[in-house]
Structure 1
Amino acid sequence: MLPPERQSIILEHLAAQGSVRTIELASALEVTDETIRKDFEALEIRGKLQRIHGGAIKPDPSRVELTLTERQMVNRESKRAIARAAAERIQPNETIFIDASSTALTLIEFLPDFPITILTNAHNVVTALAGREGDIFCTGGLYEQRSRSYIGLSAAAALQKHNIHRMFFSGSAFDLDRGVSETNSRQASFKERVIAYSEEVCLLADSSKLGQRASFFFAQPMEISTLITNDDADGSFLQSAASLNIQVVQAPAL
């Protein structure tokens, strides 16, 4: 049975039952547990289900991975306010990393007009900076069409020799117990590696992402240096974040 046929059956079971178990599907379809897990991953990337321990459930619409274009339209004004506050942290001659998130991409609008070195794995960041003077490095690597970014081991390895003063990135959700998470496992794995190379780790997250969890955790709360969010974020959440030695910045509305 080809993967598309098998995945179609998985979705039929999910629609009828609301949840499915890995072991039961593997037995019914006469394949290994690992095959079913790979099917789950492929379906989750497409937003068709959400993986849980031992199986999968119907997706939470608020945590489904969107395309870059779709993400750019969500909470647009909050993202612009956050991006402006983030840009104010940059100092002359620093080396910064900008990831492929829609919030980090918005940072391009507010970059200061002095020399900095910019590292990125985002194709859209490179094209947006085409007319800017200064050093711009793109990681290269495996190109992911949905996020228009480069990922994988080769992309992360390209950053190893750089001293990254500030890493600007986002995720799908931020939970104070488990940390930052993504809907895309490969994006999560890439960002986890970049964090290890960065002095200041700046999470850009609007209030809708706070207190939430997505599928793949990649940054523990203690690894976050700074949380930059918008001015309507929950005060108790921000106080708890500050108690974990995370510098909290609330960006005023534009």
Structure 2
Amino acid sequence: MSEQGSVRTKEIASLLSVTDETIRKDFEVLENQGFLVRTHGGAIPPKRALRELSLTERQLMNREAKNEIAKAAAQRIQPKETIFIDASSTALSITQYLPDFPITVVTNAHDVVSAVGGMEQVDLVSTGGLYEARSRSFIGAAAEKTLLRYNIHRMFFSGNGLDLQRGVSEGNSRQAAFKEHVIECAEDVCFLADATKIGQCSAFFFADCSQLSTLITSKGADPLVLEAVKNVGVDVISA
């Protein structure tokens, strides 16, 4: 697993000539002992699940897929809506494709403020709060209090992974807590996740699949996971 970065339940079951259920039970024991983190259909090493990448690192990963996802997300925005854009690298890409009509953008991301601050059609609201240098974003009680003043029509955000059983996760507990608050204030909750994040999980879970309105992903995402997400009422778009 350390070389591949993940293992699949079916592959291990076949290799050991045992049932999938046996492997799932073994994975549960190993997860409780801290040796791995279970995902839909397999497992990943705990270091991979827990490590939080900087925004700069994340911006270099899967850039083409993230841009296609961002384009599809921007097409959903309607005139005069209030939207929230989080500090994820995928959501940041939306700023390149914002429609040319009046909208309000609420964000906790320094880079989003920089990107849209000069756009005439955008009323920009920064949440303020405790600044976190690694993600270049604001979090904490002050940022959460700002959210309560706005009716957010659409929330665009990402995370480290989406697991069918446990939902959307983050590697940073404070980011996870903040996004949980945004979800409570949003009418349409749009999760942006390229194919590598589908079926994966990280350290801190903050949203069940059923809380999502829309999932926008890239080509190559696990079709079984996507179908299961659709079955709980989520609109799934492959960009």
TM-score class, shorter-chain normalisation, is 0.7 to 0.9
Q: CA deviation at 1:137?
A: 0.1
Quote the residue 2:84 is aligned against: 97
Q: CA deviation at 1:194?
A: 0.5
After superposition, what is the alpha-carbon deviation per residue over 1:216-254, rounded to whole angstroms, capped at 9, x for unaligned? 000011111100001221211111110010100110xxx
Task: From the superposition, tell whether residues 56 and 192 of structure 1 become closer, same or farther in structure 2 (CA, over 3 Å).
Answer: farther
Larger deviation: 77-86 or 126-135?
126-135
Name which of 67, 73, 78 aligns with 2:65. Answer: 78
The normalised TM-score by structure 1 is: 0.76
Quote the residue 2:26 is aligned against: none
Aligned 8 A contact 2:49 2:202 in 1: no
Give the ranges of 4+ consecutive aligned residues of structure 1 lying more than 2 Å apart after TM superposition. Answer: 52-63
Q: How does 1:42-53 map to 2 (within 5 A)?
A: none
Secondary structure in 2 matching 1:158? helix
Task: From the superposition, tell whether residues 135 and 112 of structure 1 become closer, same or farther in structure 2 (CA, over 3 Å).
Answer: same
Quote the residue 1:218 is aligned against: 206
Question: For the residues of structure 2 that align with 1:63 and 1:208, how far apart are their CA atoms?
Answer: 16
Name which of 130, 144, 148 aligns with 1:160. Answer: 148
Question: For the residues of structure 2 that align with 1:211 and 1:63, how far apart are their CA atoms?
Answer: 16
Quote the residue 1:141 is aligned against: 129
Question: For the residues of structure 1 that align with 2:141 and 2:153, how far apart are their CA atoms?
Answer: 21
Quote the residue 1:61 is aligned against: 48
Question: For the residues of structure 2 that align with 1:158 and 1:176, how far apart are their CA atoms?
Answer: 31
Paired positions, count? 200
Aligned 8 A contact 2:176 2:204 in 1: yes
Task: From the superposition, tell whether residues 56 and 142 of structure 1 become closer, same or farther in structure 2 (CA, over 3 Å).
Answer: farther
Name which of 86, 96, 103 aligns with 1:109. Answer: 96
**Gaps in structure 1 of 5+ consecutive residues:** 1-51
Match of 1:104, as an amino acid?
Answer: A
Match of 1:88, as an amino acid?
Answer: Q
Aligned 8 A contact 1:101 1:170 in 2: yes
Task: From the superposition, tell whether residues 151 and 194 of structure 1 become closer, same or farther in structure 2 (CA, over 3 Å).
Answer: same
Aligned 8 A contact 1:179 1:219 in 2: yes
Q: CA deviation at 1:77?
A: 0.4
**Gaps in structure 2 of 5+ consecutive residues:** 1-30, 37-44
Question: For the residues of structure 1 that align with 2:151 and 2:134, how far apart are their CA atoms?
Answer: 29
Aligned 8 A contact 1:82 1:206 in 2: yes
For the aligned residue pairs, the C-alpha RMSD in angstroms reads: 1.6
Quote the residue 2:6 is aligned against: none
Task: From the superposition, tell whether residues 193 and 56 of structure 1 become closer, same or farther in structure 2 (CA, over 3 Å).
Answer: farther
Aligned 8 A contact 1:63 1:172 in 2: no
